A and B are shown apart, each in its own frame.
Chain A
Amino acid sequence: MTGTLEGTRTVSHPLYGRIDCAVIGCPAGETEEPDALPADLGRLSPDSVIETALHAGIIDELDGVPLHLKLSQWKEEGCGCLVADGTEPEPYASSAWAVLNLHAEQVGEGLSLAARCVDAESCHVAVLLPGDRRRSLQQRLGEERVYLVRRRYPVVRYAPAGRMRPDKALRRIGVQALLALYRAAAFGEPQTGCVVTVAGDAVATPQNLAVPFGVPVRELLAHCGLREDPQYLVLGDLMTGRTAPSDDLPVLPGMTCLLALKVRPALLPERACIGCGRCVHACHAGLLPYEIVRRLENMHYERLVSLHPEGCDGCGACSYVCPSGRDVAARVQEAAGAHGTIFLEWGDDDDA
């Protein structure tokens, strides 16, 4: 990335908290395309792949974790099946499909590189696509390397039953991180941007944009156009994204979707829990969300431990299905973060 350093400022970002940012002015219309021939990837050792990911500053967009850390850990712990996660089981996000559509072969090369690095027994690309797109992808990558996941939120099976061994872990990497890994290994490019889906009912022209990191969100909205001012600006997808307090925030690694919503769907008043158990059926982690919430609200913190609220990954499926409109996921997350703490602090204060 070329540009002029114009200053620094601190930003309170919904995904990363308070961060110090450098303000860089970039000339408009400048694109960077690799013109060199790709390096021979077959000669790269596992350690050099990890080093490449480190120096290229690659962040996995699935969880915001640096890719070299994940590869190092998986190399130590072993990997049964490595999956390039191209699934987007929610209505707006399509950035993974955009990346696969344009750079499927490069993502496949990046996947092979990562699989060789962690010594994975098998690897494939998991997608959630209609038939024609899936067939197109299978023709480009090979039928064996594309797996169509079941249409369900959240996705729980990323590999066919035969490839999932109970003694070997299944590991996932985002397709954008794999593309960045290939480009870093083949052309020496650092990861300087990402593909973001800009959508929502307030956006005039929803589209996927390849943007450098640090571009303010308002520039993306201005590029796509707004029908009217949105009430909610969501960084991330509908199920897990976080609302932004302003449009002056920069695009950072891990952000694959930007939603501008006029009205948040189905925001109805909360009613009391009727104990229907739908959150239990929806929870792919096997938790009892309504019981966790009940114990949290009754301040039975010491009994939360046996319900393992820390197993929640925040997919939001329990809140989605709750017929009483309750924010179950947020309360389970609260229980996961604070079970026992408040109780013990109260006890300490009383003793003092």
Chain B
Amino acid sequence: MTMTLKMASAPHLRLTERSAALSLDVLIALVPLCVFSFVHYGVRPVLLVLTGIVTAVVCELLCCAFMRRKPSVLDGTAAVTGGLVGAMMSPLSPYWLPVIAAAFAILVVKMPFGGARPECLQSRRRGARGGDGLFSRPGVSLPLRGPAPAPSFGGYQRCPHRPSPRICS
């Protein structure tokens, strides 16, 4: 009897959970945060998160097409990046801010350095910081500690649910 045998390295058993499942876990973990934001600030923070997700996924698709690579959006890392970028925005942020931040995270920080791997670059945080640093205004970046700055809504849409958000007392 002659067999045609293949060679492979151990282990010959793998856990079936994939990267996409981990990304989905992170997105599920964002849901309570979105619900909390919705209760306090209305639908705007949720739309910011969704805007970030859509922007990140579209940017990654475009980038993969430009780089002639197989689309990697199915691993969910782009959606996680966009979701976290949107979740880190102030509820008073304009909609173009998560767009800029997510695009910065994907096009500048993530994809030029090989895709999902360079977590050391922390694309989500860089994206949020990049967008925040470039376009921050009083009332857009709310501090986590200390007295809240006097909100200035001069070019930005007023938060409809609660006009004067009190993040910190």
Residues of A that sit less than 8 Å from B by CB: 90-91, 218, 222, 229-234, 236, 238-247, 259, 261, 264-268, 271-276, 294, 314, 316, 319-325, 327, 329-330
Contacts and interface: CB of A to CB of B under 8 A. Distances in A.
Contact of A243 (B7, B75, B115): B7
Given A268-B18, A274-B77, A276-B22, A238 B12 contact: yes
Contact of A330 (B9, B13, B22): B9
Interface string B114-135: 1111011000000000000000
Contacts of B120: 275, 294
B4 interface: yes
Contacts of A233: 3, 5
Contacts of B1: 218, 222, 229, 247
Contacts of B116: 271-274
Contacts of A246: 3, 5
Contact of A272 (B6, B13, B114): B114
A274 B22 contact: yes
A271 B18 CA distance: 9
B14 A266 contact: yes
A267 B8 contact: yes
Main SS at interface, chain B = loop
B71 to A, nearest CB: 12
Q: Which 5 A-B pairs have the closest CB atoms?
A: A275-B119, A316-B11, A266-B14, A272-B116, A272-B117
Contacts of A244: 5
B15 interface: yes
B11 A319 contact: yes
B62 interface: no
B8 A232 contact: yes
B4 A229 contact: yes
Contact of A245 (B7, B23, B115): B7
Given A272-B117, A275-B119, A319 B6 contact: no
A239 B3 contact: no
